[in-house]
């Protein structure tokens, strides 16, 4: 590549995602990069309802501004973003052969479209970079685990570079034979500036926001935010609120989101007369209101939660977090006693005890929020794009100066 040329970079993505759009925009804004994103499926409001959100909606932030993109022809019999065959875009193979990208990025390998891109890169000699968030805590039956080991040991070492979103993803790649020298820290991130700025704007209205949601004055508010679905284990949150309420009447639960567990949760709250309110789904521009009203985030998810970007959002708003040890972000974002606390997934008694400690020590709670904000500033879009650019330079013949580094 001539010194005056830009790196021609392609990315394949299943569909527009609110967390990835700012990352694409920032990468495209780098003067040495010419980026084009190839989407496999145009997800409408009804698709969101079918994909666990529980209601139809459209994101209220720009998903396409600031970078070049195109929607591929999806020939899947039942087009969708879930399942291997929901995205089938054979045109990406021809595009990769014709465009001769300097580097091509795939978000994992879970759809047919991902594999069409990966295969085309291998056949055409196009450097292929992977940015996924799989990790080793998700266990399977022995035969499936053995077959996965054999197949993954075959294809994972064949990637030209790895955009590592966190420590557990790094361990995953290493386990399946990736070389550490090909790893570049490109952490999972949200638009920290967006959330911090909106939190600051809403802060003077904190009491009014709490009043709208009928939060009693003096309450310590624990926030559950996300799809109300099995992998998030929302019942653990409600059960922990119930246990803690017996000892600490200041506790209050704020549940933001929707999903097919919502009705059963509301019935339980009503049955036991618990101090919990359900806001329903909040779009991106309104989420900072929840972080303004809350004191602590709780993420009780199981191992299907490969990261938990809601923790990034909360920390950008200077909230500490209590996170299950099975959630993928725990190793990176939770420093016990500093940015939050970790608990054993499903252990509601331990979760309740941690909640009680947060209630009884407001000064420590506030200090932990400040430290959480300091930590998440290092998990920024700029840091993630820097890592991606280092990887792009690496696969195009340039070498970085420093090895992979996490937190």
Locate all alpha helices (DSSP H) within 225-380, ordered by sequence.
Answer: 234-245, 262-272, 287-293, 309-316, 330-333, 348-360, 362-376
Distance CA 161, CA 172 (A): 14
pLDDT (0 to 100) of residue 310: 98
pLDDT (0 to 100) of residue 401: 40
Is 322 in a helix, a strand, or coil?
Answer: strand
* Domain boundaries along the sequence of the chain: 7-190+380-395, 192-376
φ and ψ of 296, to 5 deg: -145, 140
Rg of the chain in Å (alpha carbons):
22
Distance CA 315, CA 288 (A): 11
CA distances from 355 to 84, 292, 300, 367, 384 (A): 40, 18, 12, 16, 32
Nearest CA to 295 among 380, 226, 357? 357
Distance CA 23, CA 382 (A): 8
pLDDT (0 to 100) of residue 51: 55
Distance CA 359, CA 196 (A): 24
This prediction has a pTM of 0.92
Q: Name the DSSP class of 328.
A: T
Distance CA 39, CA 37 (A): 6
φ and ψ of 153, to 5 deg: -65, -20
Distance CA 392, CA 33 (A): 9
* CATH of 192-376 among 3.30.565.10, 3.40.50.2000, 3.40.190.10, 3.40.50.300: 3.40.50.2000
Domain 7-190+380-395: which topology?
Rossmann fold (3.40.50)
Q: Alpha carbon 28 to chain centroid distance?
A: 21
pLDDT (0 to 100) of residue 303: 84
Distance CA 27, CA 13 (A): 15
List the strands of the sheet with 68-71, edge to edge. Answer: 68-71, 33-39, 7-13, 103-106, 128-130, 161-164, 183-185
Q: How many residues does the chain have?
A: 407
Q: Residue 346, class by beta-carbon neighbours within 10 Å (0-12 exposed, 13-18 middle, 19+ buried)?
A: middle
Per-run averaged pLDDT (10 residues), the chain, 407 residues:
77 96 98 98 64 67 95 96 94 97 97 98 98 80 81 97 98 97 98 97 97 97 96 97 97 95 95 97 95 98 92 98 97 98 98 98 97 98 98 80 44
């Amino acid at each position: 590549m001539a010194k005056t040329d830009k790196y021609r970079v392609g990315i394949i993505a299943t569909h527009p995602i609110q967390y990835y759009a700012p990352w694409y925009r920032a990468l495209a804004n780098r003067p040495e990069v010419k980026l084009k994103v190839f989407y496999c499926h145009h997800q409408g409001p009804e698709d969101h309802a079918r994909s666990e959100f529980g209601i139809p909606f459209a994101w209220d932030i720009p998903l396409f501004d600031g970078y070049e993109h195109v929607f591929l022809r999806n020939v899947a019999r039942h087009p969708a973003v879930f399942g291997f065959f929901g995205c089938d875009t054979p045109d990406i193979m021809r595009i990769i052969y014709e465009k001769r990208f300097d580097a091509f990025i795939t978000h994992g390998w879970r759809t047919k479209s991902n594999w069409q891109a990966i295969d085309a890169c291998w056949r055409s000699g196009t450097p292929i970079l992977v940015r996924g968030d799989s990790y080793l805590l998700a266990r399977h039956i022995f035969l499936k685990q053995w077959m996965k080991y054999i197949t993954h040991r075959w294809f994972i070492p064949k990637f030209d570079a790895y955009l590592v979103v966190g420590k557990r993803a790094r361990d995953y790649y290493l386990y399946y034979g990736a070389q550490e020298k090909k790893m570049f820290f490109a952490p999972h991130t949200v638009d920290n500036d967006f959330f911090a700025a909106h939190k600051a704007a809403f802060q003077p209205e904190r009491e009014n926001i709490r009043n709208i949601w009928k939060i009693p004055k003096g309450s310590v508010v624990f926030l559950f935010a996300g799809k109300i679905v099995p992998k998030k284990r929302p019942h653990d949150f409600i059960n922990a609120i119930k246990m803690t309420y017996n000892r600490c009447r200041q506790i209050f639960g704020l549940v933001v989101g929707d999903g097919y567990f919502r009705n059963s949760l509301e019935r339980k709250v009503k049955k036991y007369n618990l101090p919990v309110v359900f806001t329903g789904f909040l779009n991106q521009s309104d989420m900072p209101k929840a972080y303004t009203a809350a004191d602590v985030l709780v993420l009780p998810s199981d191992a299907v939660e490969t990261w938990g970007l809601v923790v990034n959002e909360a920390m950008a708003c200077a909230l500490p977090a209590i996170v299950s040890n099975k959630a993928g972000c725990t190793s990176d974002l939770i420093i016990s006693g500093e940015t939050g606390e970790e608990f054993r997934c499903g252990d509601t008694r331990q979760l309740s005890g941690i909640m009680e400690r947060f209630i009884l020590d407001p000064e420590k709670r506030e200090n932990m929020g400040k430290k959480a904000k300091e930590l998440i500033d290092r998990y920024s879009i700029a840091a993630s794009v820097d890592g991606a650019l280092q990887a792009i330079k690496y696969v195009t013949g340039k070498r970085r100066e420093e090895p992979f580094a996490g937190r």
